[in-house]
A and B are shown apart, each in its own frame.
Chain A
Amino acid sequence: DAKTTQPPSMDCAEGRAANLPCNHSTISGNEYVYWYRQIHSQGPQYIIHGLKNNETNEMASLIITEDRKSSTLILPHATLRDTAVYYCIVRVARGSQGNLIFGKGTKLSVKP
C-alpha cells in the first residue's frame, strides 16, 4: 500500500472547521483514501473513504485533489469530542487481503 504523510498535530477551535491534510503522492489508480480516528484508547472509528470524487457523510467531508496526490478531511463544526488521532490510509478496496497499514496519524486537539 502507498504511504501517507500527515502533520503530527493540529489545533482547532471548538465550532470551527477542522481541515486535516494528507499527502499520498504514490497512490495507485485503484487505491482508495480512507480516514479513521481513534479517540483516546478506543477502537479506531471509520469516518469516510473515497476514490477520486469528493465525498460527504454525516461525520465529515473528504476532498481529494484532481491528481489524487493529496486529500483533506474536513470536520465542519469541530466539538471537543472530535479530539482524537486521525489516520489517513490508502488501500485497494476490492479483492485485496484488506489489512490496514496505520501510520502515526494527526493528533487533533479541539480547544474551547
Chain B
Amino acid sequence: DSGVTQTPKHLITATGQRVTLRCSPRSGDLSVYWYQQSLDQGLQFLIQYYNGEERAKGNILERFSAQQFPDLHSELNLSSLELGDSALYFCASSGGDPGETQYFGPGTRLLVL
C-alpha cells in the first residue's frame, strides 16, 4: 500500500459526459501528479500540482482540467468524453520537493461507451 488513495476504482460512462476522479496523496506530500495509461500510448504524464498551484503540464487535453485543494487532495475533471479517453488514470504524490520519489495510487479505470 503506497498511501495514495484514488476513487472511484472503476467508472463507466457515455461519450459526451463529464466525470471527476479524486486523489488523496500520502500524508505530508505536497505534490500530486496525474498520469494516463492507455493501451496504445503507455503511461503519460498529464499535470502536476504542488501545494495547490499548477506546477507542470504534460500531454493534457483542453477538455481535461485538474485542481488541488487546501487539504492537498486533487481532482481530475474529464469532460466531453470520447471513446479514446478510456484508460487507466493514476495519481502519484511526492514530498516537499517535487523531485522526490513519487508513489502511485491504485488508479481509476475509466471506460467510455
Chain B interface, >50% SS class: strand
A93 interfacial by beta-carbon distance below 8 Å:
yes
Size of A's binding interface in residues, CB under 8 A:
25
The A-B contact count (CB < 8 A) is: 72
* Closest A residue to B31 using CB positions: A98
Stretch of A8-16, A17-25, A36-44, A70-78 at the chain-chain interface = A36-44
Query: At the interface, is chain A mostly helix, strand, loop or mixed?
Result: loop
B56 within 8 A of A: yes
Interface residues in B80-98 (C-beta closer than 8 Å to A): 88, 90, 92, 94, 97-98
Q: CB distance B101 to A49 under 8 Å?
A: yes
Task: Tell me which of B31, B58, B88, B92 contacts A41 (CB under 8 A).
Answer: B88
Contact partner, A104, options B42, B55, B106, Cβ 8 Å: B42
Chain B, interface size category, equals 20 to 34
Task: List the A side residues contacting B88 at CB < 8 Å.
Answer: 41
CB distance from A57 to the nearest CB of B (A): 12
22 contacts between A and B (CB under 8 A): A41-B109, A42-B106, A43-B92, A43-B106, A44-B43, A45-B2, A46-B2, A94-B97, A94-B100, A95-B97, A96-B98, A97-B48, A97-B98, A98-B94, A98-B98, A98-B99, A98-B102, A99-B33, A99-B45, A100-B43, A100-B45, A101-B45
